[in-house]
Structure 1
Amino acid sequence: MVSSGRPEAVSQNLLTGLSAGLGRHVWRWKSWWRYEPEVFFGFDLVSDQLRWVRLSRKPKGGVLFGLRWELVDFGIHDLAPTPDFDEADKERALIEYLQELIPPGRYPRARFYLSIQGAGVLFRRFSIPVLKKKSEEEQAVLWEARKQTPFPLENAYWTYRTIPRGKENNKKTEVIFLAILRSLLDRQVGLFLQAGAPLAGVTLGGFGFSDVLPAVPREEGEAVGLLEISPKSSYFSLYGKNGLEFFREFSSIGLKPADLEAGALAQFLEPLTAEVLSSLDFYQAQVSGRKVARLFLAGLPSGDVTIPAHFESVLGLKASVLSRVRELSYAVDNAAEFAELYPFFAKALGTALGRDRNPQLLPEALRKTFQLQHQNRLVFRLSLPVLAFAILFQAFHIYKLRSAESAVARLEQELMRLEAVPGFSHAALLEKNILSTQGFLSQFIRYPAVFPWHLKELSNLTPSEVELARATLLPVMFDSVSARQKHGVFDKLELAGSATAPYEETDAIVVEFIRRLEHSPFFGTVKVISKSEEKFGNQKTVGFAFEVGLK
């Protein structure tokens, strides 16, 4: 819904049926049937930068059902102003860059979309009485929004969504309200029009960047204005080095202390702040209804990390490091498991980062604080060093441990064995993995595709076995690993990642990777869930998602 009045024609048309959520691709049957390319631009209002551009189109030889889509990511283009680079120069550079990326007439049937994120997108969440008529509901939303919005709504474009009511709360309607100043949106739309990219739609909100909050005064930009909305759940992206700031942000988004058991949440955050979150700068919570359904933490650990020569020779990792960025991130869909597994994560991540951390269980109250829907699923979004990845893999998949307690015990055993390996210490980490950044917040670490090897055997390898290990390495990178539990045992594994190589070699690498998985003594049938391709000159990246059975 767009505010009344006479907005600038183009922006008004774009915002009709506005959807909130950065990068949320709304495919239409019309687009699929006509095979129309779709181009998505990600723009950060605070730093005034075009962060990413993504083109989705049907490759040659594709079919309608089971269609494979190519994703071509042009990466990040920094347009931040400098003393010798003023506003006019910046706008001109953006227009020229857009014309270079998408030459006029190159994609005559393409649909262009602009995703805007940053603190310039205002977010509010509140409740209104349940009303039957849509017009009455809209008036009630506007009445409440005007009281909470720092600028007149007549000067803004706005939209809102209602959250389905639960049985326990059927007298109130939860509302998520988004607004952006007309001047901000009209300026961005105008720049894209000048570049010859007529926009078919605009999305607001989405994932921000770590420079968003410090750049905007608290009273002027809503920190929680960075979110992705879907009809059933909301992602709130929050920033800050301090875990207690994270707790205060929770309070500010309208989640009442009674809903989250604020005391328990504070107890939960304090040990994490001291032990784990000291180097993390990004926190995200998925809120389903009024309950936290998922927690996501990410950050860039500081300081140089070295790799023992022993592990370098055993695993055959290259000595060169393309990037010094070491992202540490994981997501857990089951808070009860998270509480039990905290010693596991603290120890594994502490070891990986070369830091001493005292493992401790989270407060028992945490189990009651988070009531989750996915009780049998643990999800690890891995940008972890290969050592921590191997420990994760062993503890949960190879040994098929029936409980988190047994996983922690097994982990401690493996760590004790590792610490006995010559050259390994908390200060010397297996971290010579080649890291690359591709596109918008997509960071991967290259892992060796050598699964059947137990960590305890690494120190006992013969020279011929070392050569065999090197021969089994493949240029495969993992973005996420998800394990599914059935009857208390992990029975399936989902792998998402990519392989990059010269054009004619990439498909063969993926085929060989699948073959090795299927011939491993630990894995069963490999099912391809999805597959995509990216082309860069003579290089090709094949993205994949596999479902792998565990024997």
Structure 2
Amino acid sequence: MPKKVWGIDISKTSIKAVQVIAEGTGLTITALDVEELPRGSTDQAQIEGHIRDGLSKLMSRNRMRGQKIACSLPGHAVFNRPVKLPPGDPERIQERVRYEAQQQIPFPLNEVIWDSYLVDRKYSVGEEMEVILFAIKRDVVDHFLSLLTGLGLSPDVIQFSPVALYNFLVHDQDAGSASVALDIGADNTDLIVVDGPRCWIRNLPITGNDLTKALHKELGVPLAEAEKLKVTAAQSQQQGKLFAAMQPVLKDLVGEIHRSIGYYKSISRLNKFDKIFLLGNGAKTIHIAKFVSQNLQLDATRLASLSKIAVSSTVDQARLQAYLDTIGPALGLALQAHGLSRMNINLLPEEERGRREEARRRPIAAAAVLLLALPVYLLYSAAAQEKNALIKASQGAKAALETYEQTTSSLKKAMAPLPAYEKELATLSHIVLERDVPLKVLDAINKIVKDTETLPPDQRLWLLSTRLTERPVNPDAAPAGAAGYRPWVTPDASAVEVMIEGAIPVIPQRGNTQQAYDYIAKRLGEPIQKAFQTEKPSLTVKPQIITDLQPSDVPKTISPLGTELPAVGSKYFAFTASWKIRIGESSRKPAAPKK
């Protein structure tokens, strides 16, 4: 079954949740939900109330309990600092990282939750190892965790939003080895430097709300209307005026980006950046991409589509496109929940991780106890079960025997008429299979007669009558009352008797009966014998000579048509020829198909 996780990015103004499943080697978004929160409040308790209500609504619309969940902390600046570890024993690296954390983090370690990321690259012998430290006050995480658990939500991962965004960009957007990401939110703007396996984060003081306030002040419109104008100004006829109102704020923003890039270049070996990703709702501001690109001399781009993460057909595509600029952190959280992120920072307290692990093991332990108790229970109940089973088996065997006897009797009754059905079926089958035998015989005879058409009239054969009769090969086997005729039912015990009566002219070369016999045997008997592989025909040449054969005496359906008979009064030998053509299996075989 595919593994399902939720990535939930929580801010002061909205909550964005994505469900991602892992299938094979790929990831697919199967659900996307966004809950916009009321804006304008500065009271922390009120903001937390909005977050609590928003999470409750999301959970009511989506099944989240029982699935792995990764959440981001809302509205908190990230303490992150790159440090270098001097060469030393690799086995003691965690000890050295802890020592650096004590030196670099500006709070006692027992008051913070911290984690580290060892930059994954190839190090030469004796080279210092690069580590990035992350930290946040413990009471902030504890308070946030109590808010979630109070709703029945138990996260497995707590992460910073900009780190989650970094994980998304390097996984799906091919952020490369030298790029910048700018996530402009309503109350928070994060700048993330992507330097190959390294990451550097800075929180900028200029946010999307500053752009909204600039429009509010310049145009005198309510803040809600100014927020809409900020992202829809491209459709307005006053877009030039709107952009001019925001331009001072954009200049300050570009200045902050320029200072941040310059600082990072001073502490790293990177000299040039390839591009800058513009993300968050602020990325929808009119002309911002062009303005940033021209002032920083960098290719500025917004998120157009997902590259490696697929989207299920169940997800509203229009809704996905509308929020594509803002769901990067939520997708990065889902990646970490699947164990596919590059930077696996987890700010969930160690004691909470232990409780989660214990909760996962508890069902396994209960199952183990059940498995140990199961043999005892089975042994205890085996005797009673065996007795009941034997009784049931005996009853079942008796019932089965009765059923078998009844079934056998019914089967015998049902099979009694079967031989008669088989005989009748064979009769019908043979009638169908042998129905064309007479036609084949007549066709062969007609061909032989036609072959004589090319001869002079005094050399031709003239057929007066043809009869075909089926008779048994063994007359003694004929059924009673058959009167010499047998239906076409047994191909190996019957034959077609062909009888032909005809005449040939008397000429000097055939002046006697024997010469006539030989001629008829050659012209008619041998071709028939060869065509049907029969025995020699029974041929009788009558001694009387016909002298009054007329054209009308020759059946037009058999004799050659359009030919001239010898002159009236010519003399003819009359003859009778008969064959028995045995009907065998070969006569029923179909002709081979044409290639």
More strand by share: 1
- The TM-score normalised by the length of structure 2 is 0.35
- Which is higher, the Rg of structure 1 or of structure 2? 2
More helix by share: 2
- The TM-score normalised by the length of structure 1 is 0.38
